[in-house]
Amino acid sequence: MAEKVLVVGSGGREHALAWKLAQSPQIQQVLVAPGNAGTASCGKISNSEVSVSNHAILAQFCMVDDLTAAGVPCFGPSAKAAQLEASKSFSKAFMERHGIPTARYGSFTDPQEACRYIRTADFPALVVKASGLAAGKGVIVAPDQDEACQAVMDIMQDRAFGTAGETVVVEELLEGEEVSCLCFTDGSSVSPMPPAQDHKRLQDGDLGPNTGVLYAGLMLTKQGPKVLEFNCRFGDPECQVLLPLLKSDLYEVILNTLNGKLVSTAPVWHQDSSAVTVVMASAGYPGSYKKGVEITGLSQVQDSGLQVFHAGTALKGGGVVSSGGRVLTVTAVGPSLETALQAANQGVAAIGFPGAVYRRDIGHRAIAHLNLHRGLTYKDSGVDIAAGNKLVDMIKPLAKATSRAGCNAELGGFAGLFDLKAAGFVDPILVSGTDGVGTKLKIAQACSQHGGLGQDLVAMCVNDVLAQGAEPLFFLDYFSCGSLDVDIAASVVGGTAEMPGVYAPGEYDLAGFCVGAVERGALLPRLGDIAEGDLLIGLASSGVHSNGFSLVRKVLERANLSYSSPSPFGKSGQTVGEVLLTPTKIYSRLLLPILRSGAVKAYAHITGGGLLENIPRVLPRELAVDLDASRWSIPPVFSWLQKEGGLSEEEMTRTFNCGLGAVLVVAPLDAQRVLHQLQAHEEAWIVGSLAHKQQGSDPVVVRNLKHSLLNVGPASSGGEMGVEHNGGCHGNITIPRKRTRVAVLISGTEIVVVISNRPGVQGLKRASLAGIQTRVVDHKLYGSRAEFDGTIDRVLGEFGVELVCLAGFMRILSGTFVKKWNGKLLNIHPSLLPSFKGVNAQKQALQAGEEVDAGAIVAQEAVPVLGSDTEESLSDRIREAEHRAFPAALELVASGAVRLGEDGHIMWTSSSQS
């Protein structure tokens, strides 16, 4: 779903953020409040008149525009974390407490003590800072002790920076190159941005007053890097120089940061590029300056490919005029720092307004450093050993987390060891497999989404080893690239090798190797046991998995779709690339216990060769496969590929898995038991059977494929599926399959949700990770229950919801709401018997009136009370029963098998009665 985003602010930083956000295909509109002339009307970007000083109005504005149903997801620091920037005294104490290298300092509330410190310190204490926020101007670097003391008096006695100067910090003067190091962080991981260097003083040669913002800045001293201070936001103008280098979708980066996904989906930056931003200021800045000065040449600069970010500008009489000290910035991106600086200076020269002040030597120190003669290194040839070592350090915790009994290996060593006896094997046979992910890599690289490829690689190898009945023991992978990007490699997770000149920039290749073991008597397939009449159980795939992507790319080319286009298949709001990069399912954890039970005679992993070639690989030659495509669920992506590509049924079944990631061969007597074991964790169906193969006939026949591709969704013969129901009546019921739009309302953290009245609960995070939309409707923000329920009702209407599940939702819904959704609300709670006593218990149960947590019973399950039970153990088993009963009830209601009659009692459809 296309989103609307509000950016609060009016400077160049906010213009840059809006500009980058507007490039996201997931965003419909970017509103800037109050904005400036550059954000007034520019494609998706427009200004808003919402009052940014009134937080309540601002939040309500956001809710009205559907950014959220209640409350706004926040990309920024908590109040506690923001103290790192808001109080320099707090920040210095924090660094000292945690052993972070920084300048020696003292913090003072008495100006006389501060001056005494300046004159007696055994180091030059000549940097004086107002401890609070001072709009980036509360830092004075003094040339001598007298001026440092005068700065203290100006700040503390004359109140040069207001209340920000009630406390001052006096620091050691550090010498060296200053570097601004910004990063994204989700609270548990950090993804660095390219380093930037701010030129804070107004005039060439670093002369004039300090007009910039001191950042999460490092000073590269002779004693090593030292932290100057921390900020908790994008800087200005650092934001304007960094965002043009960001290759990833900024909106996706923000979402990944909010959802804790930075480790698996790190932002990607343009390689081998440099950016330079030049600030143009009003005459007299940072002192008094004139406003309303006309600005010319803006369109000419934009047409030359440069980016102008407005700050202190306004619209007047159809033109743009100055309205602040920092007027605008010109940003240029080039293959080198020199070319970028030259282009930026040319852009600045083309823009005219009287008295404009700007520097012509931006980047001079960096260019001088780069021009120093250096001897050649291995890195100059394209191989970065340090980056490789950094990657190994980054992925060591990930590798350790997957270690198991018998594994004795240290990442970074020459080889790995495995002790089969320690793993519990008696008479093992080793099984090995190797595979890659094919041209799915090309799509991942084009989309800059690499996080799922590691799972793809493991799945392709592990699922193959399972076909022999083997337990996967350890996994090796090989990652090769032209130039090592540590963040990308870490998200893929693999061994690395740089091969300059072999791969184009941004390209890499993957290979995986899995070794497993199986006891000699448990090898699969058991060819001698497989017989005519055996049944085939299919396990659901998650989509295309990692096969057939060369054909997929051809179909996309024919359909004129890009990877960033809204997907005509998959969930609403997803792009083509997102759907296609859905990771391959790994079946080992689910299948190993079932394989060890002996019920499975053979297992086929559906990879390259599709259904036609993979299943016969595990069967005797005299047997043929009869598959019925109407019996399993075919993901929409396959229907779209078949239609757009004009693909034949044979091409579809030979190239793709068509919705079946794996197929098991079982005896008819074992089929239902195995099917139920699988369905407890994964979608699975009985999809066919084995028959004697006639001479000259095909080894695999797939019936009803064309019909099923046209009517995506599972169906057994006649378009219905059988479901066993044990309740008031015994026997089988048939449930017509149809798609129903369902919403889940929660207050707690137990299950996947859509709507919650509490922000930040685990259920919301799980829903986001599963790709499900979430909304928070905080009841504390509403004056009445009716107003609260009305908002929920509007959100349900927005999503076209047909059925509502209440899962631990701790708010009592109003009678009006319940009446509107009568027959469309499902709730669950334990009912401890005996609820009704005496000889009339049955009559009482049938006549039970409507009350809170009451209603007609769709499904129920008995949980016995054991003599050894504690409250905790009984609660755990009740919860397990709930997790079985709720989906069953949902299936019955969503399918139309049961409904609520006008008298409030359950009514079963005639086709579902046994």
Which CATH number do you get for residue 228? 3.30.1490.20
CA distance to 10, 558, 579, per residue, from 644 (Å): 46, 8, 16
Q: Note whether 92 and 200 are same-domain residues.
A: yes
pLDDT at position 606: 96
**Cβ neighbours for 92, distance < 8 A, ≥ 6 positions apart:** 102, 105, 107, 169, 171, 229
Q: Is residue 332 included in any domain, yes or no? A: no
User: Model confidence over 658-700: pLDDT tens digits?
Assistant: 999 999 999 999 999 999 999 989 999 999 999 999 888 899 9
Tens of pLDDT, residue by residue over 771-796, are 566 777 777 777 778 888 888 887 77
The pLDDT score that the predictor gives to residue 837 is 57
Burial grade of 511 (CB within 10 A; 0-12, 13-18, 19 or more): middle
Residues 838 and 765 in one domain: yes
Any idea which residues carry the catalytic annotation?
829
Is the model's pLDDT at 868 over the cut of 90? no
Per DSSP, the residues of 367-403 read HHHHHS-----GGGGT--HHHHHHHHHHHHHHHHHT-
Same domain (yes/no): 231, 86: yes
CATH number at residue 708: 3.90.650.10
Alpha helices in 228-297 (DSSP H): 238-242, 250-258
**What CA–CA distance (Å, rounded) separates 70 from 451?**
31
Single-letter residue type at 494: G
| 521/793: higher pLDDT | 521
CATH number at 848 reads 3.40.50.170
Element (H or E) spanning 154, and its range? helix 145-156
Helices 453-466 & 440-447 angle (0-180, nearest 10): 160
Instruction: Give the per-residue pLDDT at 262.
Output: 80
Q: Using alpha carbons only, how large is the chain's radius of gyration in Å?
A: 33
Q: Are residues 397 and 433 in the same domain?
A: yes
pLDDT band at residue 727, thresholds of 50, 70 and 90?
very low
Domain-embedded: residue 21: no
Residue 852's pLDDT band, with cuts at 50, 70 and 90, is very low
pLDDT band at residue 309, thresholds of 50, 70 and 90?
A: very high
At 20, list the tokens.
Answer: 């980058």
Q: Is residue 228 part of a domain?
A: yes
CB 165 within 8 A of CB 130: yes
Say if residue 159 is in the same domain as residue 193.
yes
Q: What is the DSSP letter of 585?
A: P
779/640 same-domain check:
no
**What is the SS3 assignment for 47?**
strand
- 695 with 774, same domain? no
Residue 215 is assigned to a structural domain of this protein: yes
Q: What is the domain range of residue 477?
A: 382-409+424-523
- Compute the distance between CA of residue 444 and CA of residue 863 in angstroms, rounded to an integer: 48
pLDDT band at 260 (very low <50, low <70, confident <90, very high): confident
**pLDDT given for residue 263 in this prediction:** 76
8-state DSSP, 803: E
- Per the domain annotation, does 362 fall within a domain? no
Question: Same domain, yes or no, for 478 and 386?
Answer: yes
**How many structural domains are present in the chain?**
4
**pLDDT band (50, 70, 90) for residue 160:** confident
Q: Tell me what the pLDDT averaged over the chain comes to.
A: 79
Question: Is 347 within the bounds of a domain?
Answer: no
Q: How far apart are the first and last CA of the chain?
A: 42
569 located within any domain? no
Neighbours of 554 (CB within 10 A): 12
Tokens 């506690």 sit on residue: 80
More confident site: 656 or 733:
656
CATH number of domain containing 441? 3.30.1330.10
The Cα 149–Cα 170 span in angstroms is 10
End residue of a domain, out of 178, 212, 239: 239
Judgement on whether residues 598 and 689 belong to the same structural domain of the protein:
yes
The stretch 546-556 carries a mean pLDDT of: 91
Alpha helices, H only, 522-633: 549-558, 576-580, 588-596, 610-614
Specify the pLDDT at position 228: 75
Average pLDDT over residues 712-729: 32
519 with 537, same domain?
Answer: no
Among 239, 258, 287, give the residue marking a domain's end: 239
Note whether residue 881 is domain-resident: yes
Query: Of 190, 205, 239, which one is at a domain's C-terminal end?
Result: 239
How many CB atoms sit inside 10 A of residue 178's CB? 17
Beta-bridge mates of residue 768: none
Asked if 497 and 520 touch (Cβ cutoff 8 Å), the reply is no
In this structure, the answer to whether residues 143 and 188 fall within a common structural domain is yes
| 804 lies in the same domain as 704 | no
Say if CB 118 and CB 125 are below 8 A apart: yes
